[in-house]
Amino acid sequence: MVYEVRRDFRGYGASPPDPRWPGGARIAVNFVMNYEEGSELSYPDGDGVSEWGVSDSGGQGAGSGRDLAVEGMFEYGSRVGFWRLLRLFRERGLPMTIFGCALALERNPEAAAAIREAGYDVCCHGWRWVKHFQLPEAEEREHIRRAVASLEKTVGHRPDG
């Protein structure tokens, strides 16, 4: 099967559909938090490099080995950023979807428990934060299987994604 990306420059044009949202609402907002810390490429995990694609370095050290600054950025997200956002959303009674990498949530059971207790939706964001399009089909299928089993265990239900 060949997949061809087709671009759409027209859309609905001058006649967009009426979504008929409840109460006549005119806007819908969906809050999503990515929880990836601990599933990214990591020198200590044997990947031979630290994740660099979303770092402040802009990829300057790409593929050059361990980057303690990048590792610190990811660790900060799970140690501080996650909890700060969780408190803000709980205080306001706002719903949220967690795009969770399964390995990341396994490595932080307290975060997984907090997500479960808050009743947030969980969308499977993969087993690890890797370029899935580079995986052979069998390995990608194994990642999917592991991710679903892991999220069922850590957050207590089958993920939506």
* pLDDT score recorded for residue 85: 97
* pLDDT score recorded for residue 63: 59
| Assigned domain for 3 exists | no
Q: For residue 83, is pLDDT > 90?
A: yes
The CATH number of residue 127's host domain is 3.20.20.370
DSSP letter for 146, please.
Answer: H
Domain that holds residue 143: 27-155
| Assigned domain for 5 exists | no
Q: For residue 161, is pLDDT > 50?
A: no
List, for residues 9-48, the tens digit of each pLDDT value: 999 999 999 888 889 998 889 999 999 998 887 877 777 7
Percent of the chain past pLDDT 90, that is, above it, reads 58
Name the residue with tokens 């006549």. Answer: 24
DSSP string, 13-28: TT-------GGG-S--
How many C-alpha atoms does 155 have within 13 Å on its Cβ side? 31
* CB 108 within 8 Å of CB 38: yes
